Amino acid sequence: MDVDADGLEDFENVARYDTVRVEAFSDAVFAVAMTVLAVELLPPEHQPGDLLHALLDQWPAYASFLASFLYVGVMWMNHHATFTRIRRMDRGLRFANLGILLWTVLIPFPTAVMADTLQERNLADSRAAVALYALIGALMCASWLVFFHYLTSRPHMAEEDVPDRFFHAERTRAWVGVALYCVAGVLGTAADPLVALAIFVALPVFYAVTSEGLLEMRWAGERTRRK
């Protein structure tokens, strides 16, 4: 049990533990969710001699897999970047983390629904499927919002050298994610569901290029230019 040297320790030594086990547990969940996504890619049913076309015809399943693999992969990167800046866990933060994991393990469900449905090319069903995916995607971002909100209101839980603005910037990123998944859902139900699928593949790229935090990017960019 890691006890800090400030005046809070004897109250906190029971309720607060280091972050290591939470990271390891979350890593396992991310890893399993990622692998499970691929398990849902099944050999397609086909007429004898027609496997090649059957494989090509299920391209929406590959695109859905890719969108979700990238999403979970990038969530893992964010988790990693965030936890290097956290010094202490408490029960509230463990619950906020469990919220993130809840939507992470759920990702394979809308992915499978979307993969199944987009192959059948029924417009009403396709719209329902992309709306479901957008909903889970937005709730995933919202769970990060809760996590960062909890952290920003408890600055003593962060590492000392992390600027206050860092977690505020992270909240902005999470809000942008919620908004973009909602936009994708609306576009997908109002217009072409395949547009939503394209956005779902593209969105993790936004999170990927900003995976060290919006602030850090700008800062790192400045330093690179200064060199």
**Footprint of a copy of itself on this chain (CB under 8 A)?**
1, 11, 14-15, 17, 21-25, 27-39, 41-43, 46, 48-52, 55, 69, 73, 76-77, 80, 84, 91, 94-95, 98, 101-102, 105-106, 108-109, 112-113, 116-117, 120, 122, 124-125, 128-129, 132, 159, 208, 211-212, 216, 219-220, 223-224
- Measured N-to-C along each axis, helices 123-152 and 193-209 cross at an angle, to the nearest 10 degrees, of 20
**Closer CB to a copy of itself, 72 or 179, in the complex:** 72
Rounded CA-CA distance 1/23 in Å is: 16
Burial of 152 (0-12, 13-18, 19+ CB in 10 A): middle
**Coil, strand or helix: which one is 86?**
strand
Residue 53's Cα: distance from chain center in Å? 33
* Nearest approach, Cβ of residue 4 and a copy of itself (Å): 15
State residue 84 phi and psi, 5-degree precision.
-70, -15
* Nearest approach, Cβ of residue 176 and a copy of itself (Å): 19
**Closer CB to a copy of itself, 122 or 155, in the complex:** 122
**Closer CB to a copy of itself, 69 or 181, in the complex:** 69
Strand partners, 89: 17
Tokens of 122: 């029924």
* Nearest approach, Cβ of residue 220 and a copy of itself (Å): 6
Quote the strand ranges of 24-158, DSSP E: none
* Nearest approach, Cβ of residue 42 and a copy of itself (Å): 7
* Nearest approach, Cβ of residue 152 and a copy of itself (Å): 18
**Closer CB to a copy of itself, 18 or 179, in the complex:** 18
Strand partners, 17: 89
Strand partners, 158: 86
**Closer CB to a copy of itself, 5 or 52, in the complex:** 52
